[in-house]
Amino acid sequence: MASSPIKRIFDARPMDECVPLPNKGQQNLRSGIPGVAATTEESKPLDEILNTDEVQIPSERINKEQENLNLAELKSFSQDLVRQKSKEGDPPHHKSVAASAESALFKYATAIAQERLVNPPDLTRDLPYIPNVDPHRLLARLKEELKQRQIVEMKTLEKQPPSGIASHVQSAVNKLEQVLHDL
């Protein structure tokens, strides 16, 4: 007795291959879309799909060490501003320069966490303190990274998604520019 064609379609691929389970600490993140996240023999590299050599995925285009340095410098810079404001006796409030610097750190950490599929606090928890951060050089590096990410998103998605990686980096750049303007 032959099996029905519908049964064969559903038996072709178990569900656990279509949607991977989240790793430890990633329970709050989306775990994938059926068919897209599956790794099968038919999967092709991104370059073959796009038929171009000049487009790279963001993790290949932006150096991970550079991202970690940017995170560490943003965290150190915001900590320095918080310390400076507390020494001056100013009570912290949500519209202060220090709060804007912390917001820039959070926006950038959100972008990198989205790319690496981790939670933002996991990225910023063990960062080293970097003394004497030059915020203007940091801003220039973030702007350069933003340009690269926008190019990649435009070529791969043909638009810049409102909650994409480039938009989070854009928010961090805007916040850091606001901080430097207000200092």
Domain spans of the chain, in order of start: 1-43, 58-182
Q: What is the DSSP letter of 37?
A: S
3-12, 14-23, 122-131, range with greatest mean pLDDT: 122-131
The predicted structure's pLDDT at residue 89: 75
The predicted structure's pLDDT at residue 4: 56
Q: Between 17 and 74, where is the model more confident?
A: 74
Q: How far is CA 64 from CA 25, 51, 111, 128, 139, in A?
A: 20, 26, 13, 15, 17
The predicted structure's pLDDT at residue 61: 60
1 band by pLDDT with thresholds 50, 70 and 90: low
The predicted structure's pLDDT at residue 11: 52
Do 104 and 78 touch, CB atoms closer than 8 A? yes
Over residues 30-68, the pLDDT tens digits come to 444 443 444 444 555 555 555 544 444 544 467 899 999
User: Residue 99 pLDDT more than 80?
Assistant: yes
CA 81 to chain centre: 24
Contacts by residues 54-58 (CB-CB < 8 Å, ≥ 24 positions apart): 54/155, 55/152, 55/155, 55/156, 56/152, 57/152, 57/156, 58/115, 58/148, 58/149, 58/152, 58/165
The predicted structure's pLDDT at residue 52: 47
Over residues 144-162, the pLDDT tens digits come to 999 999 988 888 888 888 8
